[in-house]
């Protein structure tokens, strides 16, 4: 039978999201790609240090520990193939079971998400993430300034999600930004029983739920909804998840409070949010990524009334 990625949770990840390659990347950003390649080749046998999404990937791969391949991690990178050797070497040194990679030597790699049937794309390149989101894939721009995940929960993958424009559509967020808090609250009370449309990360949450139900390795998934919503707007968020037959383990309705301290206590392996301010706050404590989706990420010209 042909090899297939069907029925697997597929995570596509860039080299810089998985490993700390910031020193090398400074050469590339300075306009010296040849110097970048040369440095990577010089360090071919020097394992790169863990990057921001390393903990998430390591734990997800442990769902394969009983010999059943439930999770597939693929390197999807703008690196050149020679530099790609170091990435594979670093993965092998860390005992990460990663055997697939696509290296495009500077070209946008997001188009390969389609044949990979990726459930999630994590990259340190913001343009690649925007293209992936526009193509309908769950994706986040990894903040390379984030704190690394701790080791407090070795048998538990912890993932936190913002709600509007991340798990849910930006319908309610548009009302808030265009008409204010009072109109937002009234809108959500009026539509409390009407489920929100799915946002860009909803398919990934569904895939995680499916993985948890299928796993028998002792690994667990713990999810949290961390939202600026407060009562009475909380009800529609909960009703929406119930309509999807999905539950989260924790829900934090913060009514505008800063999310950083709450995420520090939850200790996720990764946090997803559509607003850069929330991502910066979270990144001081936990691995975080920006989901460039919804009204908060439209250019100013797109918000100007015509």
| E strand intervals along the chain | 9-13, 19-20, 49-50, 71-77, 100-103, 120-123, 139-142, 156-161, 220-227, 250-253, 270-273, 288-290
Helix (H) or strand (E) holding 204: helix 202-214
Residues 6+ apart with CB under 8 A from 138: 118, 119, 120, 121, 200, 201, 202, 203, 204
Active site residue 162: yes
Q: Which residues pair with 227 in a beta bridge?
A: 253
- Of 29, 80, 127, 162, the active-site residue reads 162
Helix (H) and strand (E) counts in the chain: 14, 12
CB contact at 8 A, 65 and 220: no
Between CA 114 and CA 10 the distance in angstroms is 11
CB contact at 8 A, 220 and 22: no
Q: Which residues are catalytic?
A: 162
């Amino acid at each position: 039978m042909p090899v297939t990625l069907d029925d697997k949770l597929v995570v596509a990840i860039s080299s810089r999201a998985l490993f700390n390659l910031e020193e090398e990347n400074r050469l590339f950003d300075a306009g010296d790609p040849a110097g970048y390649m040369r440095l990577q080749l010089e360090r071919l046998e020097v394992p790169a240090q863990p990057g921001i999404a390393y903990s998430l990937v390591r734990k997800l791969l442990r769902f394969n520990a009983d010999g059943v391949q439930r999770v597939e991690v693929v390197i999807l990178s703008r690196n050149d193939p020679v530099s790609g050797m170091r990435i594979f070497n670093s993965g092998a040194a860390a005992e990460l079971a990663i055997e697939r990679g696509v290296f495009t030597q500077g070209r946008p790699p997001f188009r390969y998400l389609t044949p990979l049937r990726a459930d999630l794309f994590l990259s340190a390149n913001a343009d690649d993430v925007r293209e992936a989101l526009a193509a309908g894939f769950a994706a986040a721009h990894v903040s390379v300034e984030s704190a690394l995940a701790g080791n407090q929960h070795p048998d538990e993958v912890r993932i936190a999600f913002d709600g509007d424009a991340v798990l849910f559509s930006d319908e309610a967020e548009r009302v808030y930004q265009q008409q204010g808090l009072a109109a937002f609250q009234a809108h959500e009370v009026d539509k409390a029983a009407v489920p929100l449309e799915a946002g860009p990360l909803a398919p990934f949450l569904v895939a995680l739920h499916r993985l948890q139900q299928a796993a028998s390795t002792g690994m667990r998934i713990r999810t949290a909804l961390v939202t600026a919503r407060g009562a009475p707007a909380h009800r529609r968020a909960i009703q929406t998840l119930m309509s999807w037959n999905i539950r989260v383990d924790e829900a934090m309705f913060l009514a505008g409070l800063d999310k950083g301290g709450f995420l520090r206590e939850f200790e996720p392996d990764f946090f997803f949010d559509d607003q850069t301010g929330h991502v910066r706050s979270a990144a001081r404590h936990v691995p975080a990524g920006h989901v460039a989706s919804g009204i908060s990420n439209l250019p100013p010209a797109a918000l100007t009334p015509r």
